[in-house]
Amino acid sequence: MPRLLQIAQLGHPVLRETAGEVPDVLASDIQELIDDMLVTTSDVDGVGLAAPQVYHPKRIIIVASRPNARYPHAPLMEPTAMLNPVILSSSLENESDWEGCLSIPGIRGLVSRAKSLVLRYQTRTCAVIEERFEGFVARIVMHEVDHLNGLTFLERVGSSRDLVTEREFFRRIPKRESV
C-alpha cells in the first residue's frame, strides 16, 4: 500500500541538495517511492512534486496538473512520474505567472519562465520519452526540475515585491485572472 509522505519545508537542507540520477528505474524501492509520491501529490492537492521534497534527493518528479482548490484553473492531465528529466530546449519567449510550493506553505510568487520546453525523461517503465510541454504544465516541469537542482521559486521571482501571502493571493489575484 502506498504511504503518504511528509513534505520537507523550506530551511531543510535536503531542499538545497543536487539530487542524484536514478540508475535503476525499475528497482522496487524506486517504484515504491513513485507510488508514495503519487498518492502524496494527490492528497495534498499538489500539481507537482519532486523527490527531494519528500526527503529523497533523487531525480524523480511527479507532474500532475489538474484543477483543484490550490490551482482552480490548472489543465487536467494524467499524473506522470518523470525520472532523470533533462530540459533539452526551451522557448526564448517567457511568461509570468503565479507559483506556490508545498515546501513553502502560504506564499505565492510571480515567476517568469519559458513558455514551452522539450523534456527528455524516463517513464516508470523505463521508456525514454521526448515530449514538448507548454504553458502551466511547462511551468510545473521547470519548477520541479529546479527542486532537483536545489532551487525553489523564491530564487526565480524577479523581486521580493512579487511575493504575496496565499490569503491575499486568493483575495486579489483571481480578479486578474491569473493561474
- Residues designated catalytic: 144
Question: By rule CB under 5 A, what string of x and - marks binding of each residue 10-49 to Ni ion?
Answer: ----------------------------------------
Helix (H, G, I), strand (E, B), or coil: what is residue 101?
A: coil
Q: Which is nearer to Ni ion, 64 or 101 (by Cβ)?
A: 101
Q: Which CB contacts under 8 angstroms, 24+ apart, belong to 28-36?
A: 30/58, 30/60, 30/83, 31/124, 32/2, 33/58, 33/60, 34/60, 34/62, 34/81, 34/124, 35/2, 36/2, 36/3, 36/4, 36/5
Q: How far is the CB of 141 from Ni ion (least distance, A)?
A: 12
Q: Which is nearer to Ni ion, 1 or 69 (by Cβ)?
A: 69
Q: How far is the CB of 102 from Ni ion (least distance, A)?
A: 6
CA nearest neighbour of 102 among 72, 129, 62, 137: 62
- 60: exposed, middle or buried (Cβ count in 10 Å: 0-12, 13-18, 19+): buried
Indicate the residue whose CB is closest to Ni ion.
101
Q: How far is the CB of 53 from Ni ion (least distance, A)?
A: 6
Q: Of 8-16, 32-40, 96-104, 124-132, which segment contacts Ni ion by CB under 5 A?
A: 96-104
Q: How far is the CB of 147 from Ni ion (least distance, A)?
A: 6
Q: Which is nearer to Ni ion, 93 or 155 (by Cβ)?
A: 155
Q: Of 55-63, 98-106, 115-123, 171-179, which segment contacts Ni ion by CB under 5 A?
A: 98-106
What is d(CA 174, CA 160) in angstroms, rounded to the nearest whole number? Answer: 20
Q: Does 101 bind Ni ion (CB under 5 A)?
A: yes
Q: How far is CA 65 from the centre of its chain?
A: 10
- Point out which residues bind Ni ion (CB under 5 A): 101
